[in-house]
Amino acid sequence: MLRNMYESIKAAVTARKAAESFGLTVNRSGMAACPFHEDHTPSLKLDRRYYCFGCGATGDVIDFTARLLGISNHDAAQTLAERFGIQPESQSVITPKIKPAVPLRTLEQRCLFALVQYEKLLRSWKKQYAPQGPEELFHEKFVEGCQRESFIAHLIDEMMDADPWRRKQAVELLLEDDHLHCLQDYVLQNQEEEMKMNICKRNEESGNGGYCS
Ligand SMILES: [Zn+2]
């Protein structure tokens, strides 16, 4: 019964809708200042679920509410049910929001591939752009590497989990708002940039002209 209630709430209320109802300002791209860490730029992505690029906080609408209000998941579910008028006995058929046209297994592989590529970039940025001295300003790619690596690693873990439900959750997160395509484009673009930069560096080192600089 309780499980049913949780599912009804999750089907009816997105993390974004709940956040807005609790007074968080969510911008048009679904980002908000994260209430779970000291956040100066909106790092919290809110949709059906939530995740924060800054602190890695992630979960569903019930986790979100529990964490935000500092109450148990059980109380959070009750709060949401009252606030959004959801009946525990409503056995409404939950239609999955995402009906992939391609089989899940293929999607999983695509997601995993994009994530692994991105993680590789983040790792290399952490080394390549690490500040050389205490006075040097942090390079934005170094910051991105530090902020996102653990969250991406967490997603990769989820994608490799034996439990198909967890893998499916991770895939859905990546498919929301076309994240996967954005990530693929972003990774590709950055890989090309890095490649060009490395070629330039090699040319400079071997004295093959400075047209790159
Ligand atoms: Zn955060």
Q: pLDDT per residue over 146-167, tens digit each?
A: 999 999 988 888 887 777 888 8
Mean pLDDT value across residues 184-210: 80
Ligand 1 geometric centre to CA of 167 (Å): 23
Instruction: Assess contact for 147 and 53: CB atoms under 8 A.
Output: yes
Tokens of 109: 């592989």
Mean pLDDT value across residues 98-113: 69
Ligand 1 geometric centre to CA of 148 (Å): 11
Ligand 1 geometric centre to CA of 83 (Å): 25
- C-alpha dihedral over 63, 69, 72, 75, to 10 degrees? -100
Ligand 1 geometric centre to CA of 38 (Å): 7
Ligand 1 geometric centre to CA of 13 (Å): 21
pTM, to two decimals:
0.49
User: Is a pLDDT exceeding 50 seen at residue 169?
Assistant: yes
User: Is a pLDDT exceeding 50 seen at residue 76?
Assistant: yes
Ligand 1 geometric centre to CA of 48 (Å): 17
Ligand 1 geometric centre to CA of 140 (Å): 18
Tokens of 90: 């409503």
Tokens of 12: 């009816």
User: Is a pLDDT exceeding 90 seen at residue 204?
Assistant: no
Ligand 1 geometric centre to CA of 15 (Å): 14
Separation of alpha carbons 34 and 37, rounded Å: 6
Specify the pLDDT at position 208: 60
Instruction: Assess contact for 54 and 39: CB atoms under 8 A.
Output: yes
Separation of alpha carbons 96 and 85, rounded Å: 21
Specify the pLDDT at position 174: 87
Kindly report the average pLDDT of the chain as a whole number: 84
User: Is a pLDDT exceeding 80 seen at residue 120?
Assistant: yes
Type of residue found at 53: F
Ligand 1 geometric centre to CA of 54 (Å): 5
